Structure 1
Amino acid sequence: MKKLMIASVAATLLFSASAYALEAPAKASTCIGCHGADGNSVVPNFPKLAGQHASYTASQLKDFRDGVRKNATMAPFAKGLTDQEITDLANFYAAQQAK
């Protein structure tokens, strides 16, 4: 009985964490137009973000924000992002299934 209870609690925590990880951050609504709702862009000019390593996506967003990387579309969006928002976006897209 004790093992069943532990397994039940563990499963609940696992599924709760997975559902939370897949919830889109508020700032992701701006990304949808170019990169798709789940990061799977259907336009060749816009990269797919789904499944990309979080550290890579975070690095790119920081480079856009800080002016290291130049892009007329991305710079204004990234300029307003905090480090936490960048981390949240990067983790969200890393958790998405690339198609």
Structure 2
Amino acid sequence: MAQASVHVAGQQHPIKLYLVVWGWLFVLSTCSYLVDYFDIHGYLRWFLILLFMVLKAGLIVAVFMHMAWERLALMYAILVPPVLVLVFVGIMVFESDYTHVTRLTFFGMGP
């Protein structure tokens, strides 16, 4: 009887949830492959590939890593640092153009 009460106290997720997430992962992966199949080029290609990648990663983290059921403080502790890293990378990309132009201006074009 003690085992039954321990088993009931644990949180159980319905199998349907996991099957739906697997279905969505299959659909998103298919869309990602279709980008290559239809031979899409340029910024649209990279935008679509990155979009499908982020959506798949979000589903995996939310459901299979049980992040959707965690406290908000833990979600912030895990999700905010990568977002800040991306913001800093974006700042460095804009700064790199300025640095390149400044070097060409003051040090010349080179040999």
Q: TM-score, normalised by structure 2?
A: 0.29
Between structure 1 and structure 2, the one with the greater Rg is 2
Task: Name the structure, 1 or 2, with higher relative contact order (CA <8 Å, separation 6+).
Answer: 1
Greater share of residues in helix: 2
Q: TM-score, normalised by structure 1?
A: 0.32
